[in-house]
Amino acid sequence: MTKPRLRPRETKVEIDQTGAFQRQPNHFTTPFGQGEKELSAEIGRYHLIWAKGCHWSNRASIVRQLLGLEEVISINLVGHSRENEKYGWEFVYDKDRRDPVTGDQFLSELYDRADPDYKGRATVPALVDTQSRKVVNNDYHRLTNYLEVAFKPFHKIGAPDLYPEDLRDQIDDYNDHVLFPNINNGVYRMMFAQSLIAYHQAFEDFYRTLDEIEERLADRRFLFGDYVTDSDVRLFVTLARFDTHYYRNLGPIKHRIIDYPNIWGYARDLYAIPAFKENTYFHSIAHGWDKDKQKLFLDFNSRFADQIDYDAIWSQPHQRAKLSKTPDQKFLTPS
Q: Residues at the annotated binding site for glutathione?
A: 89, 121-124
Element (H, E) at 136: strand 134-137
Active site residue 54: yes
Which residues neighbour 120 within 8 Å (Cβ) at sequence distance 6 or greater? 8, 24, 27
User: Measuring CA to CA, how many Å separate 281 from each of 42, 244, 260, 284, 292?
Assistant: 29, 11, 22, 5, 23
- The single residue of 174, 188, 227, 271 carrying the catalytic annotation is 188
Residues 333/161, Cβ–Cβ less than 8 Å = yes
User: Is residue 97 left, alpha or beta, with left meaning phi > 0 and alpha meaning psi from -120 to 50?
Assistant: left
Binding residues: 89, 121-124
Which residues neighbour 220 within 8 Å (Cβ) at sequence distance 6 or greater? 226, 323
- The single residue of 46, 54, 111, 310 carrying the catalytic annotation is 54
- Which residues are marked as active site? 54, 188
